Structure 1
């Protein structure tokens, strides 16, 4: 309600928009996406620093734009509705330019589009009530178009049974559908979720992520993030997806939390010492711990400042507090 009132006051000029003084200059819309892979071994676990840097430079404009939009949306979610002007100005410019709808130079660029779309869609969803009504059709039509192009990758992502890239693609479609109301994209996301949880074994492991040698822990955490986010988007619609796959998400959550507390818990099975998990690997846990108090030992992993993950929409700790009551 507060966001709607603020948006109305902005529209009739009774309060000044934050955009006039505080908006970051909008990144030039990226119509094409150029990126590159950076792992050098067969298990995709050893990065080449030069290739990592090459990718970082190429993706900086898109990732900076996503960071700006998710930051604005998180401020709107915190009750500062005037920041919606910054978000809608930026997203409308990218929409009008047809950003992310041009040439993608290789398969990595297709992955990148998924991670940008998911973050932008959740940002828009969180700020939607404060977005000017005249701007919504422009932005939502663009998100739908990007999602439709992204959905064309589903056959390739399903090849070989699917892995974390399939899970993130499902989340991106579900996020876009939640932002725009597109029923087809939501149906596709539901299908992906059902397929994905079927990959979780009895002990919570994902076989294709366990094959990532020293990055097995990381890729299990990377995999659960979009699946929990999809389950939470479903919960906003009154649907309970957590029991699917005979409680597969609960098994996966227990495995990832253990890997966070005991960094080498997967080392023997993965056949390599594990890289310790970063704090932003546990943004999903902010939701899970609120929805299932005491089910996993979450306090240590969630202690400290809020956890941010732009690819999942920004401040996940704040989102969990707002979404999970």
Structure 2
């Protein structure tokens, strides 16, 4: 047993492990690793009688936010650190070792291993996507393999659980929607880290499964069932589908032309309707949230465009994105404008 692992084991027995920093993190004056989250157990954000999941229950939504808050805060902070590897004059090795050291602190104690509710299992995919994209940014600049070696088996286990859940236990509707797409993105990132063809194949299969549900006009039926949030959720699905396609392309798997260019049609639907939402309104019978005062279109909603433009030449989409740049979204690994410009 290494000295580092011996210290971890002793600390765990004494109940102080969540407060430990990896030696790498300490050496680089890295912020303290937050306490790991081991268990997630929460219900739906939506009212019990909301058949199409378009009516949020404020109290239930707040409970979900509270449960996921420590995980999301950790990932948001990590993306801010990880994006630093692209900055001019950055000490890339120090940044990378800090990021990987913090993730390794969660990995070595088995964080996120106990997902008690179906909702936790369905929504962890976007967090695994964020985690994987963070690690992918840092890994090329690491000065030691130690932390990445600790992360890999943990990430492999989390992805194995996700694959089994989506194939065996997930509700039929969810299997065709954005939550499956986010799990697919988590798989695409994990496959690159693990160099695992099985995870890569599952990611491509899952993303394609969702894409192939698209109607001729590019609308995704599962997302169009969301009432005034339909366009919002169409875009929420396009984000992981586009980034997964870009990541898989770099791993030698091209899903762009599957199901008669489904990805291009999904994106095209958004491009055609993003300015007033009238196409979606006509389909679902309700004004859309971006245009009825419920929601405001922000840069993070469109951040996926940067990855999509690396696999598709679309000047009009580039023009759409320009006023919002730089665009950042923690679930996609942070600053997309910066990240994908460096690919």
Offset at residue 202 of structure 1 (A): 0.8
- The verdict on how the C-alpha distance between 1:283 and 1:121 changes in structure 2, with shifts beyond 3 A counting, is same
Q: d(CA) in 2 for partners of 1:265 and 1:278?
A: 20
Q: Residue 302 of structure 1 aligns with which residue?
A: 322
After superposition, what is the alpha-carbon deviation per residue over 1:27-46, rounded to whole angstroms, capped at 9, x for unaligned?
11111113331111211112
Query: Which SS does the other structure have where 1:200 is aligned?
Result: coil
Query: What is the count of residue pairs matched by the alignment?
Result: 306
- Of structures 1 and 2, the one with the larger relative CO (CA 8 A, separation 6+) is 1
Q: How does 1:11-50 map to 2 (within 5 A)?
A: 23-40=30-47, 41-50=50-59
Superposed CA RMSD in Å reads: 2.0
| Alignment TM-score, normalising by the size of structure 2 | 0.83
Query: Which SS does the other structure have where 1:266 is aligned?
Result: helix
Offset at residue 201 of structure 1 (A): 1.2
Pick which of 31-40 and 59-68 moved more: 31-40
| 8 Å Cα contact 1:285/1:302 also seen in 2 | no
Q: d(CA) in 2 for partners of 1:38 and 1:183?
A: 35
Q: Residue 105 of structure 2 aligns with which residue?
A: 93
Offset at residue 143 of structure 1 (A): 0.9
Q: Residue 181 of structure 1 aligns with which residue?
A: 195
Offset at residue 19 of structure 1 (A): 5.9
Q: How does 1:273-284 map to 2 (within 5 A)?
A: 273-276=287-290, 277-284=297-304
Q: Residue 72 of structure 2 aligns with which residue?
A: 63
After superposition, what is the alpha-carbon deviation per residue over 1:96-132, rounded to whole angstroms, capped at 9, x for unaligned?
1100112x23122113321111100111011111222
Q: How does 1:122-201 map to 2 (within 5 A)?
A: 122-131=133-142, 132-155=144-167, 156-157=169-170, 159-160=172-173, 162-201=176-215
Q: d(CA) in 1 for partners of 2:317 and 2:254?
A: 23
Q: d(CA) in 2 for partners of 1:279 and 1:71?
A: 16
Q: d(CA) in 1 for partners of 2:258 and 2:171?
A: 19
Q: How does 1:249-264 map to 2 (within 5 A)?
A: 249-264=263-278
| 8 Å Cα contact 1:157/1:165 also seen in 2 | no
2:125 to 114, 122, 125: 114
Query: Which runs of at least 4 in structure 1 moved beyond 6 Å after TM superposition?
Result: none
Q: d(CA) in 2 for partners of 1:109 and 1:198?
A: 26
Query: Which SS does the other structure have where 2:146 is aligned?
Result: coil
Query: Which SS does the other structure have where 2:219 is aligned?
Result: coil
| 8 Å Cα contact 1:197/1:249 also seen in 2 | yes
Is residue 239 of structure 2 the alignment partner of residue 225 of structure 1? yes
Long gaps (5+) in structure 2: 1-23, 291-296
| 8 Å Cα contact 2:122/2:170 also seen in 1 | no
Q: d(CA) in 1 for partners of 2:85 and 2:192?
A: 17
Q: Residue 207 of structure 1 aligns with which residue?
A: 221
Long gaps (5+) in structure 1: 1-16
| 8 Å Cα contact 2:326/2:338 also seen in 1 | yes
Q: d(CA) in 2 for partners of 1:316 and 1:250?
A: 20
Q: d(CA) in 1 for partners of 2:216 and 2:54?
A: 25
- The verdict on how the C-alpha distance between 1:311 and 1:195 changes in structure 2, with shifts beyond 3 A counting, is same
| Alignment TM-score, normalising by the size of structure 1 | 0.87
Is residue 112 of structure 2 the alignment partner of residue 105 of structure 1? no
| 8 Å Cα contact 1:158/1:166 also seen in 2 | no
